[in-house]
């Protein structure tokens, strides 16, 4: 009997907040992942501010983050929007994992994005800034579906569960598209 290899996704949110909507999106993705997809969620807590003087001696938490990114088949980022861009916590983690020069673990990795905000634009501006970073990182961004969850307070319950069915369906589609995108990159027609 041929056993299908488990497809590994590493997910992380650009928020350290305990009741983060974006962490909640990742938990929903974990729940909604189709069979054969394993989503591991990494918390960015403990990743110190990047200092290029120390990049040859990276902290253990950064090494751990990089190792998990390296072994993942694909990456899923849930980003909040801060001041029309991505939060510093997220940018810092990305900077840490892309260094030192020649050891950028994002290179050639398939990546998908989602994001939630109480505002009406649902992190669109932050997501397009994040896509700009992907250009230099050399990762392969999934274009669609775009998961931009606006008015988040109406779509999650008090325990941080996504209750909005359209959002749940979009997250499920995002996971399926990320797997299809990764397989297509591995064996292009």
Ligand X SMILES: Cc1cc2nc3c(=O)[nH]c(=O)nc-3n(C[C@H](O)[C@H](O)[C@H](O)COP(=O)(O)O)c2cc1C
Residues interacting with ligand X, by CB under 6 A? 15, 17, 20-22, 80-84, 117-119, 121
Cα–Cα distance for residue pair 168/155, rounded to 1 Å: 10
Between 56 and 83, name the residue whose CB sits nearer to ligand X: 83
Shortest distance in whole angstroms from residue 160 CB to ligand X: 9
Shortest distance in whole angstroms from residue 53 CB to ligand X: 28
Between 36 and 84, name the residue whose CB sits nearer to ligand X: 84
Between 59 and 118, name the residue whose CB sits nearer to ligand X: 118
Cα–Cα distance for residue pair 91/134, rounded to 1 Å: 11
Cα–Cα distance for residue pair 156/20, rounded to 1 Å: 11
Shortest distance in whole angstroms from residue 80 CB to ligand X: 3
Pick from 66, 73, 12, 10: nearest CA to 39: 10
Shortest distance in whole angstroms from residue 106 CB to ligand X: 21
Cα–Cα distance for residue pair 112/33, rounded to 1 Å: 14
């Amino acid at each position: 009997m041929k056993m299908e290899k488990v497809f590994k996704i590493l997910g992380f949110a650009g928020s350290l907040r305990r009741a983060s909507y974006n962490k909640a999106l990742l938990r929903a993705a974990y729940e909604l992942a189709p069979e054969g997809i394993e989503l591991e969620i990494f918390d960015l807590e403990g990743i110190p501010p990047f200092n290029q003087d120390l990049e040859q001696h990276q902290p253990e938490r950064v090494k751990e983050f990089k190792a998990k990114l390296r072994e993942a088949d694909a990456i899923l980022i849930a980003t909040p929007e801060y001041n029309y861009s991505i939060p510093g916590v997220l940018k810092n983690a990305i900077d840490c994992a892309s260094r030192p020069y020649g050891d950028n673990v994002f290179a050639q990795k398939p990546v998908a994005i989602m994001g939630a905000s109480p505002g009406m634009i649902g992190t669109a501006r932050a997501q397009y800034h994040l896509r700009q970073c992907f250009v230099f990182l050399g990762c392969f961004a999934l274009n669609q579906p775009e998961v931009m969850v606006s008015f988040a307070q109406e779509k999650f319950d008090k325990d941080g569960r996504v209750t909005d069915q359209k959002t749940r369906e979009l997250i499920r589609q995002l996971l399926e598209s990320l797997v299809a995108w990764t397989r297509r990159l591995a064996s292009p027609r």
